[in-house]
């Protein structure tokens, strides 16, 4: 089973049943916050996970950007939304 955590809301994203986890390169959407992730799965392991920075939904363009962590020495991503 592939475990893919959303960098925005920190939940485990459910991989849709139709996706071949042995070989997949494409977009996954977090079911909780709607963040789009460009991922690559090889042999049921995550080889790439990148936030899609520009998303177009109808007439609205959502831009995601990485912001620095508020705590020193803490690594990780904090993603915010702008519209």
What whole-number distance in Å separates Cα of residue 38 and Cα of residue 25?
7
Helix (H, G, I), strand (E, B) or coil at 17: coil
Query: Model confidence at 24, in pLDDT bands (50, 70, 90)?
Result: very high
pLDDT at 82: 42
Q: Which two tokens stand for residue 20?
A: 């071949």
Q: Are 32 and 15 in contact (CB under 8 A)?
A: no
pLDDT at 76: 41
Query: Model confidence at 3, in pLDDT bands (50, 70, 90)?
Result: confident
Q: What is the pLDDT of residues 25-83, one digit of tens each?
A: 988 889 998 888 999 999 999 999 998 876 666 555 555 444 444 443 333 444 444 44
Total tally of structural domains belonging to the chain: 1
What whole-number distance in Å separates Cα of residue 64 and Cα of residue 78?
10
User: Taking the model in full, what pTM does it have?
Assistant: 0.62
Domain that holds residue 21: 4-82
């Amino acid at each position: 089973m592939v475990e893919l955590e959303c960098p925005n809301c920190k939940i485990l994203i459910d991989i849709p049943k139709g996706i071949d986890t042995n070989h997949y390169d494409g977009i996954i959407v977090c079911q909780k916050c709607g963040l789009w992730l460009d991922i690559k799965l090889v042999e049921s392991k995550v080889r790439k996970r990148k936030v899609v920075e520009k998303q177009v939904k109808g007439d609205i363009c959502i831009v995601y950007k990485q912001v620095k962590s508020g705590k020193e020495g803490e690594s990780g991503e904090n993603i915010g939304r702008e519209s």
